[in-house]
Amino acid sequence: MRRHLRRAAWLLLVVPLLGGGALAALQAMIARGYFTARVDAALEQATGRTVSHGGIQVSPGLRPRIVLTGATVANIPGGSRPEFARIGRLEVTLALLPLLSGHVEIDSLRLADADIVLERDAEGRPNWVFGGGGGGGGIGIPTVDIADTRITLPQGPVHDVHVERLRLEREAPHDPLELRGHVRLDGEALTLTARLGPEAEGILPLAADIAGDGLRLTLEGSWPRHSGTPGWALAAEAELNAAAALRLATRFGHDLPLAGPLNAKARLAPGNPWPSVSDLTVRLGPTDATRLLPGLRLARAELRAASFDDPAQFSAQGTRNGADLGLTASLPSPRRMLEASTDEAVPIEANVTSGRSRLTLRGEVRTDRPPGEAVLAARLTTPDFATVGPVLGTTLPRLSGTTAEARMSGLLTRTLRLQDLRVTAEGIEAEGDLEIGFGERPAFRGEVSARRIDLDRLGGGGPAPARRAGRVIPDHPLPLAMLRGADAELRLSAATLIAGGVAWRDARATVALAGGRLAVDPLTVTIPGGPVGGRFAIDATATPPQASLSLRSHGRGLDLSAMRRAFGVPAGFEGTAELALDLHGTGTTARGLAASLGGEFGIAMLGGRFTGATALRIGPDLARALMPRGTPADGLALRCLAIRLSAEAGLAHSQALLMEGEFGRIEGSLALNLRDETIAARLLPDVRVLGVTVRAPVTVGGTLADPRIGVEPGAAFARVAGDTVANRLWRSSTVEFLRGATGSAPPGGDCGAALTLARLGRAGAMPDAAAAPIPLVPRELQGTAQDVVRGIGGLLGGRRR
């Protein structure tokens, strides 16, 4: 008995020693490369690729472990590099009991420090299919760990996958497969969790969740276990915040004009070459869209399509500068937009609404060109054009019942081009080409020609200007907000312009507006009396705003009879008059400009007739005071009429005031205070009554709204001259004459000098020379003496002059 015990003890001692010695011998043989060729040959036979490795280490125990280091697996012919994989370390843990019975079961596998490339060759064959073609029976390893491994996909949208940690686990071959880990896709850190199975009739339920910084993707559906099982189906939903959407777009080389919270849902199924997509919905949340259009904010946007092969519907809601905006669009199917050939045009139809305004767009867009190059038929209808102003970022005039049509291009860009533009509204019919640039301020460029513009109807809906009792000059506000809110380079013209019930013709203007500074140069228009031209400017950036106007009549001058008929003026001058003015002022209203007015104004008339009435309320009384004999029915012939006013800081005084004709001569001086509209005038007529020249001064005072005759001139001027600026005029010849302080004639002199002053120094036609004065005959008797001399000359056979 004792002998049997000793034998058992020896066996217990020898067997481990023999096992340990065998393992030591096996490790020594592996270290010396005794099995290297056989292992490589077996791997090459299994994979169909050349395989090499650097070393093998076997660790005994209840869970034996084999460690393979420095291994490489060859790539397919035509690959981007020789190796499919470079494996730094591969650890395989075996189950002990199956191994003792002669079966190999892998308990766990760990892959670390590997570099793998996944690609296809020129014929489209994948390099990750080994041996006879890759039929598989599924994963039979309970646990797979991958760490610090890089996977390169040179032909995919994602080029680099860095697996930091990834674990796949399942308890039994038919149990669900769990996946957890952390990876980086082109540097984007993601956390993965997924569950696959359990299997039911060859189908594995799939649920996956991928989360990152500001993004999340969830997948739920089914996956076939074998290739013969019907295809996979997934419901996918992706969510990204604004920062993640912008970051991912930049990472993949795209520039997003809109960056906001994004949600996308779809059902995916197998398709060729793209997966089949159905129930597609893409939603964009509240978004700052200033990159697309300054001041634009989207409340929401949504794209829907029943499938990739059905038409898509797009809708959006938002605001710009406080105005509501809505957009609906019908688009081709997503598949057509993706697969359209480069020369194919796809149709679109869109409607943009803002309040009761509606813009309709129809046309085609080519997939190989930016949307901005597409030319679309555009039609705008709005009950009030001014309500469109906030959408464009500027102030627009009120145009009731507006309809505009054009060929539009530049969609979704900062420059909108309108060709063959036609606008009809209450009071306007126009056409032309217009370009609208969207920046800090909208910029308008182009040429617009109107057949008819009725300013009376256009301005009829606006607020009435403030009027103060006893004032003539209206308090119309200047359009300063409009000037500060936009830039423009426009050529404008109107065949007919209605203003004040009067038709003006052939109006043309070149408008340059930049940074609140407006220049209209040149400006030409044919008023009822004839053509005038000049320039107009406003600087809305100055404090206070500054304005200037330079205007001159063209040709022979203005037909006063035509102007009297057109404007309904009861005044009576017949003939043509030359107009010249060069004025400037500051202020925010027309009355403010008048109160600060400076510059020159002149009217020059050569020949013509005076019919006896005037436009002033005191006209008939003034005419009787100046011409006691009255005015004949056919009027009185004029030799000249010359008026020139010089203004400074709202105070104007005459440099020339002369009317000369067959009745004699009327001269004088005039002062106006445009701040309070007071007037002071002293007129000195030299008229012949029964052959005798009558010289009786006539004075006018009061205001423009209430002028009065016979006012003491000094008192009238004292009312006009109210400050130091006015007092600087006190020593002028005009003032002296108004005060009656001198007996000399006022500025202006005879016709030649007065006409030159009235023309602001410009040369022009002059009347024939007046008869030379007869020596030693008093001025008051010159007229009678001249008649006598002409009569004697006639009796002697001389020619009348």
Using DSSP, state whether 54 is helix, strand or coil: coil
- pLDDT tens figures, 204-245: 888 999 999 999 999 999 888 765 556 788 999 999 988 888
- pLDDT tens figures, 523-533: 999 988 899 99
Query: Among 212-221, 257-266, 713-722, whose mean pLDDT is lowest?
Result: 713-722
**Torsions phi, psi for 246 (to 5 deg):** -70, -40
Percent of the chain at pLDDT > 90 equals 27
Q: Position 693: which residue type?
A: T
- pLDDT tens figures, 112-146: 999 988 888 878 788 877 654 443 344 467 888 88
Q: How far is CA 251 from CA 153, 159, 247, 345, in A?
A: 16, 11, 6, 30
What pLDDT was estimated at residue 46?
56
Average pLDDT of the segment spanning 479-504: 88
Average pLDDT of the segment spanning 493-513: 90
What pLDDT was estimated at residue 728?
57
- pLDDT tens figures, 669-713: 888 899 888 888 888 887 665 455 556 788 888 888 888 887 666
What pLDDT was estimated at residue 14?
43
- pLDDT of 714 > 80? The answer is no
- pLDDT tens figures, 379-394: 999 998 888 888 877 7
- pLDDT tens figures, 364-378: 887 677 777 889 999
What pLDDT was estimated at residue 610?
81
- pLDDT tens figures, 320-371: 888 899 999 988 887 777 666 666 777 888 999 998 999 999 988 876 777 7
Going from N- to C-terminal start, the domains of the chain cover: 21-123+140-156, 344-462, 471-767
Percent of the chain at pLDDT > 70 equals 73
Average pLDDT of the segment spanning 27-53: 59
Max avg pLDDT among 198-202, 538-542, 762-766 = 538-542
- Helix ranges restricted to H, 478-555: 480-484
**Torsions phi, psi for 119 (to 5 deg):** -155, 175
- pLDDT of 651 > 50? The answer is yes
Confidence of residue 775 (pLDDT cuts 50, 70, 90): low
- pLDDT tens figures, 268-320: 888 776 678 889 999 999 988 877 777 888 899 999 999 888 889 999 999 98
193 - beta bridge partners?
Answer: 180, 209
Residue predicted with more confidence, 263 or 614: 263
- pLDDT of 410 > 90? The answer is no
Contact indicator for 385, 402 with CB cutoff of 8 Å: yes
Average pLDDT of the segment spanning 531-559: 93
Sorted by sequence, the CB contacts under 8 Å of residue 670 that are 6+ apart come out as 645, 652, 653, 654, 657, 679, 680, 681, 734
Burial 112-144 (b: 16+ CB within 10 A, else e): bebbbbbbbeeeeeebeeeeeeeeeeeeebbbb
Average pLDDT of the segment spanning 450-473: 67
- pLDDT tens figures, 572-587: 788 899 999 999 999 9
Average model confidence (pLDDT) for the chain? 78
Average pLDDT of the segment spanning 737-748: 49
**Separation between Cα atoms, residue 421 and residue 431, nearest integer Å:** 5
The bridge status of strand 262-269 relative to strand 233-240 is antiparallel
Contact indicator for 102, 94 with CB cutoff of 8 Å: no
Confidence of residue 747 (pLDDT cuts 50, 70, 90): very low
**Separation between Cα atoms, residue 227 and residue 240, nearest integer Å:** 34
What pLDDT was estimated at residue 788?
53
The bridge status of strand 106-117 relative to strand 51-52 is unpaired
Contact indicator for 161, 151 with CB cutoff of 8 Å: yes
- pLDDT tens figures, 69-96: 888 888 888 888 889 889 898 888 877 6
